Amino acid sequence: MSNLMTIDEAKNIVTEKMKDTEIVSFSFNDLAVESKNVFNINGDRARLTDGASKQFSELISVPFPYIKRSPNELVAMNYNYHINETPGRSLNAVFRGDTVASFSELDLPSVAHNDILDAAANAVGEDASIKHFRITDSGELGAVITTDEFNFLTEDTPYYGGVKIKFSDTWAVHPVVEAYLEREWCTNGSTTQIDNRKFRVRGYSRDAVVEQFAEFAGLAKQQIKPMFDGFIHLRDEKVNDVRGTVLRICQENGIPTKIFNRMMEYWSGEGFRSTFPNPENIVNNPTMYHVVNLFTYVGSHCPDISPEHKELLIAVGGNNALTHHDRCNSCGTRV
Q: Rounded to an integer, what distance in angstroms lies between the CA atom of residue 292 and that of residue 287? A: 9
Give the chain's domain count. 3
Q: Is residue 328 part of a domain?
A: no
Same domain? For 216 and 272 the reply is no
Same domain? For 147 and 9 the reply is yes
Same domain? For 10 and 156 the reply is yes
pTM (two decimals): 0.84
Same domain? For 162 and 210 the reply is yes
Q: Which amino acid is at 258?
A: K
Q: Is residue 90 part of a domain?
A: yes
Task: Collapse the DSSP code of 8 into the 3-class scheme (helix H, G, I; strand E, B; otherwise coil) and give the result.
Answer: helix
pLDDT per position as a tens digit, 88-146: 999 999 998 889 999 988 888 889 999 999 999 999 998 999 999 999 888 899 999 99
Across the beta sheet with 90-96, what order do the strands follow? 21-27, 90-96, 99-104, 44-48, 38-41, 31-35
Q: Residue 270 sits in which domain range? A: 237-323
Q: Rounded to an integer, what distance in angstroms lies between the CA atom of residue 96 and that of residue 9? A: 21
Same domain? For 117 and 200 the reply is yes
Last residue of a domain, one of 63, 96, 129: 96
pLDDT per position as a tens digit, 182-232: 988 777 888 888 877 889 998 899 999 999 999 999 999 999 999 999 988
Neighbours of 270 (CB within 10 A): 7
Same domain? For 172 and 41 the reply is no
| CB contact set of 291 (below 8 Å; sequence gap of 6+) | 234, 239, 242, 245, 246, 249
